[in-house]
Structure 1
Amino acid sequence: MYVLHICHSYYPPFLDCARQYAALFTNHPYKVVTVYLTGKPDPEVEKISASDEVIFLGYSSKQVRGLKLGAIARIRHLVKSRAFAFCIAHRAKPTYVALLASDLPVISVHHNYDDYGRLTRRILVNYYRKRLLMLCVSDSVRDEMRQHLEHWPAEQIQTLYNRIDVDALKQSLLSRQQARRAFALEDDTYVIANVGRLHRDKDQATLLRGFAEALSQLPANTLLLILGKGPLEQNLKDLADKLGVAGKVRFAGQIPDARCYFRAFDLFVLTSDHEPFGMVLLEAMAAELPVICSNSGGGAEVVAGVGQTFPLGDATALRGEILAAMHRKHDRAHEIQVLQTRFSDAAARERFWALPWVKKISNVHWK
């Protein structure tokens, strides 16, 4: 039997999401056929997808707007060519394609908030509700979706956390010395790091304000290192200058494979406004870093029992957590244990196959 796996695209972070879901079928009798609606064929993407077969439909984003009739026709033809048991579709567009192109049960994976805030979207999924399972990347996203789809049974809107291949990621990490050399950092520099798009949703403005408040009590050689690019870059640089900390803040730009360099850091801080999940937190934990995260969205779920949280947008509270982190004993072994038991491929596989809806569709023919 085959599993149809439809992804809108393979640009980050969705290529890794495709790998995560293909990994659910390790040591299971299903063969996974991953279809990318957009993007040209790429051998490296095919390799990372970790599927039995990868198909690139090659559409542009513009071509899959609206009714997506071409994609629906091609998926319909594909469904007729294999004995597919069910479909996994990431995000709203691939879900619509899967529903309209087949009679398969569909597991719809949701990575963001407000996917069903629109009435038209709710009408479609309500019509096909009997053959839909919604999987959300965090309880925060799940709870918001349950509000939009309030008449759905709770068992049909569930959480399946994002995850990492813990061992593979740890092996990809550069040593502290190598990573620091890449950023031209002195060995004794105390580095507070943030990785993310420079966008208001990531709220690096609060990070700068909290850092500025804490700076007088931090070591003299402290540096705030911000990785990423985005529309607010100049605004944030201007804010750092206004706060008088520009000489202690470095904007490093977009770094390919940034997670490989995390051992260069001493503390990782994520200040996002309603982060649906926060993969970067898992990457920081794999590098055995102490983490601080805003208490908004899925990020707070990721660091529960491991890292520290502060109220969203509260620079003074963030200042307190930054200062406390220097003196708090960091339990690295517990951090890795949490990764293995909650956010690993093995943990996700156990959770996925235990879901009643998945048990139902994997054991009987859909009717």
Structure 2
Amino acid sequence: MTTRPRHVLQLCHSYDPPFDDCARQYASLFKGTSFLVTTVFLTGAPRADLLENTLSDEVIFLESPKHKLKGLKLSLLKRVKRISQQKHYELCIAHRTKPTYLALIATQLPVMSIHHAFGDFDRLGRRLFTEFFSSRLLLIGVSKAVSADIKQHLPRFPVDGIETLYNRVDIEHSKNELLSKAKAREMLDIPDESYVIGNVGRLHPDKDQETLIRAFAKAKHALPENTLLIIIGKGKLQQKLHDLAQSLNVEDNIKFIGYIKDAKRYFTAFDIFVLTSDSEPFGMVVLEAMIANLPIICSDCGGAKEIVENTGLLFPFASSEKLAELLVHSANNRESTYSHDASLMKLHTYFSDEAGRRAFWKLEQIKKILSP
């Protein structure tokens, strides 16, 4: 007897990274089930590769201009409503605020709203809107820190209506994408014999590369002579960080690479990865560093802390003194400060696609919504 297919609708603002992979993560929750996933991108021209890359059974491109998405456009509401009526959908997964608003107003479906950032409910209007639709709304934070932020802003929201589902990664696929260490260093123009401290992220106050550079300057005399600090990314602080490196006399030991597409493939060029962010909602770069088998040092705030605990080293945010100590300690004690087996186990237990499926189907709200 053939099982009748069931349907899930997924709404995404765009397929710009990392939201192309977010769409994949949530479509993968239904792998091996009778559910078929239709993914709708509000913006962006059609791309044939996204059908396979997002693991969706159908992909629809609404091609709305990004600059015209402010407010709730009647035409967009009508289009989403029309799509929702084409099949017997049982759940709508909506990433970020605009898709959530559209799903709640244009459909009568239960909505699983995914929140990837802090402060989504700072505005009173958003809080009132969310509370009004609480009876058919499940709020998901991508880390416990994000979920706690939601709960703080929505104290009257049903307790079982706010849950955590970690971001996750296709571990084997990501491993296969990695360049060899020699190739990665060749392409980044890094000498083979260097000891490399790596950082990847926008050059922005939130990422706090300033603390990293100050810590590196403090630690430099106690690090191997061939140590380099490699910073991949671009942003408004680029000149300020260059000037800081020069003022601390470490400009010859720091290499600002700029933006690189698919930077995660180059993590093999590093010997250690450092994240200094002040409020990272999750920290996909930390998962990417774990996949590349790197020791990790991370600031003790935001969602990234939840990934690094018990497998890496944490330091108080903005403490260049403590970070400098850990840089020296890690350079001289890799074997005692890093366990590849523990890191890999944590990846599989909490941050793999399989772990995501286990956690998703255990959610009480999902059991009620998608019961046979």
Query: Please, what TM-score do these two structures have when normalized by structure 2?
Result: 0.96
**How far apart, in 2, do the equivalents of 1:285 and 1:268 lie?**
9
Preserved contact between residue 68 and residue 97 of structure 1 (Cα < 8 Å): no
For the residue of structure 2 that corresponds to 1:39, the secondary structure is coil
Preserved contact between residue 51 and residue 57 of structure 2 (Cα < 8 Å): no
Is residue 2:326 matched to residue 1:335?
no
Residue 68 (structure 1) shift: 2.5
**How far apart, in 2, do the equivalents of 1:123 and 1:333 lie?**
46
**How far apart, in 2, do the equivalents of 1:104 and 1:23 lie?**
20
The one of 63, 66, 79 equivalent to 1:74 is: 79
Q: 1:22-41 alignment to 2 at 5 Å?
A: 22-41=27-46
For the residue of structure 2 that corresponds to 1:116, the secondary structure is coil
Residue 255 (structure 1) shift: 0.8
Preserved contact between residue 280 and residue 303 of structure 2 (Cα < 8 Å): yes
* AA of the residue aligned to 1:103: Q
Aligned structure 1 segments of 4 or more residues deviating by more than 4 angstroms: none
**How far apart, in 2, do the equivalents of 1:139 and 1:363 lie?**
26
* AA of the residue aligned to 1:295: D
* Other-structure match for 1:347: 355
**How far apart, in 1, do the equivalents of 2:285 and 2:134 lie?**
33
Is residue 2:184 matched to residue 1:179?
yes
Is residue 2:366 matched to residue 1:361?
no
Residue 44 (structure 1) shift: 2.3
The one of 130, 133, 137 equivalent to 1:125 is: 130
* AA of the residue aligned to 1:333: D
Runs of 5+ consecutive residues of structure 1 not aligned to the other structure: none
* AA of the residue aligned to 2:148: D
* Other-structure match for 2:103: 98
* Other-structure match for 1:108: 113
Deviates more, 1:52-61 or 1:37-46: 37-46
Is residue 2:282 matched to residue 1:274?
no
CA RMSD after TM alignment: 0.9
Is residue 2:229 matched to residue 1:224?
yes
For the residue of structure 1 that corresponds to 2:10, the secondary structure is strand
**How far apart, in 2, do the equivalents of 1:320 and 1:45 lie?**
45
* AA of the residue aligned to 2:364: P
Residue 250 (structure 1) shift: 0.4
For the residue of structure 1 that corresponds to 2:370, the secondary structure is helix
* Other-structure match for 2:70: 65
* Other-structure match for 2:308: 303
* AA of the residue aligned to 1:40: A
**How far apart, in 1, do the equivalents of 2:116 and 2:238 lie?**
25
The one of 190, 199, 202 equivalent to 1:197 is: 202
**How far apart, in 1, do the equivalents of 2:50 and 2:32 lie?**
22
**How far apart, in 2, do the equivalents of 1:359 and 1:29 lie?**
15
* AA of the residue aligned to 1:250: K
**How far apart, in 1, do the equivalents of 2:299 and 2:12 lie?**
30
* Other-structure match for 1:206: 211
Is residue 2:292 matched to residue 1:287?
yes
Q: 1:42-61 alignment to 2 at 5 Å?
A: 42-61=47-66
Deviates more, 1:80-89 or 1:173-182: 173-182
Is residue 2:30 matched to residue 1:15?
no
Is residue 2:168 matched to residue 1:160?
no
* Other-structure match for 2:90: 85
Residues 257-299 of structure 1, C-alpha deviations (whole Å, 9 max, x = no match): 1111111100000000110000000000000000011001001
For the residue of structure 2 that corresponds to 1:31, the secondary structure is strand
Is residue 2:153 matched to residue 1:148?
yes
Count of aligned pairs between the two proteins: 364
* AA of the residue aligned to 2:171: V
* AA of the residue aligned to 1:346: E
Residue 123 (structure 1) shift: 1.1
Residue 94 (structure 1) shift: 0.3
